[in-house]
């Protein structure tokens, strides 16, 4: 798990330090991950904030460069997920081996880490946190995003959980875009990204025509995204 977080942090560092060379705007960098990606990205962000709040050694990118974090269908408190995953086929022993043992669960649980009074200064550095989740998600229950957002709010972080009624673990980023028509997640993301740009909001494209015939056969197994 530590190596995954390190890899993600290095990727963020590359983007922050090179985005302008590729025509990107260094003042408009958003960090987003889905499922395990949402969890790892949140861990990387918090770990970086802790480094910055400390002595700041070996800092190759700054949390202040991230305009907002967007987590989709993520899990942020591993203690609440161990038994849940076990009962759905991701056995406890395998999960704990991925997470470097039971003693590391707290370290890799952003919801718990942010409540540590010793890192209050680090938590204050976090960017706005937007947590998206479908209420029909059986891979990671939507309460994972809801409770993390509530915890962040109590600590003074700008945070919001955005729930989509009946949507599964993959609907929001896979099935819905392929179906066409109204894409709730896309519209919410565009609204967040263009929140301070009235001109861009006015130019946002209208919803695409819905194409129901393309997707009926695509019925993904909800077990596909167990992590």
Q: What percent of the chain has pLDDT over 90?
A: 80
Identify which has the larger pLDDT, 198 or 45. Answer: 45
Shortest CA distance to 148 belongs to which of 185, 106, 188, 110?
A: 110
Domain 2-166: top CATH class: alpha beta
Shortest CA distance to 19 belongs to which of 66, 51, 59, 58?
A: 66
Mean pLDDT, residues 87-106: 96
Cα–Cα distance for residue pair 168/137, rounded to 1 Å: 4
Cα–Cα distance for residue pair 88/13, rounded to 1 Å: 35
Considering the entire predicted model, what is its pTM? 0.87
Cα–Cα distance for residue pair 122/174, rounded to 1 Å: 34
In this predicted model, what pLDDT tens digit does every residue of 3-61 receive, in sequence order? 999 999 999 999 999 999 999 999 999 999 999 999 999 999 999 999 999 865 678 99
In this predicted model, what pLDDT tens digit does every residue of 55-91 receive, in sequence order? 656 789 999 999 999 999 999 999 999 999 999 999 9
pLDDT reading at 225 higher than 70: no
Q: What are phi and psi of 151, to 5 degrees?
A: -65, -45
Q: How far is CA 130 from CA 11, 65, 146, 173, 227, in A?
A: 21, 16, 10, 15, 21
Question: Per-domain residue ranges for the chain?
Answer: 2-166
Identify any residues that bridge with 30 across adjacent strands, giving them in sequence order: 68
Give the catalytic positions in this structure. 35, 137, 169
């Amino acid at each position: 798990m530590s190596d995954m977080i390190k890899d993600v942090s290095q990727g963020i560092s590359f983007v922050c330090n090179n985005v302008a060379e590729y025509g990107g705007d260094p003042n408009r960098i958003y960090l987003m991950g889905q499922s395990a990606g949402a969890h790892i990205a949140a861990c990387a962000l918090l770990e970086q904030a802790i480094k910055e709040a400390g002595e700041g050694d070996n800092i190759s990118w700054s949390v202040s460069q991230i305009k907002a974090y967007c987590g989709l269908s993520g899990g942020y408190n591993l203690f609440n997920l161990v038994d849940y995953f076990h009962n759905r086929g991701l056995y406890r022993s395998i999960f704990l081996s991925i997470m470097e043992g039971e003693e590391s669960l707290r370290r890799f649980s952003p919801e718990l880490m942010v409540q540590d009074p010793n890192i209050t200064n680090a938590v204050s550095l976090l960017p706005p946190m937007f947590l998206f989740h479908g209420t029909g998600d059986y891979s990671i229950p939507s309460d994972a995003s809801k409770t993390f957002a509530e915890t962040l709010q109590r600590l003074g972080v700008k945070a919001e959980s955005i729930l989509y009624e009946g949507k599964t673990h993959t609907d929001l980023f896979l099935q819905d875009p392929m179906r066409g028509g109204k894409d709730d997640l896309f519209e919410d993301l565009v609204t967040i990204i263009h929140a301070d740009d009235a001109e861009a909001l006015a130019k946002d494209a209208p919803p695409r025509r819905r194409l129901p015939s393309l997707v009926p056969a695509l019925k993904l197994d909800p077990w596909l995204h167990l992590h």
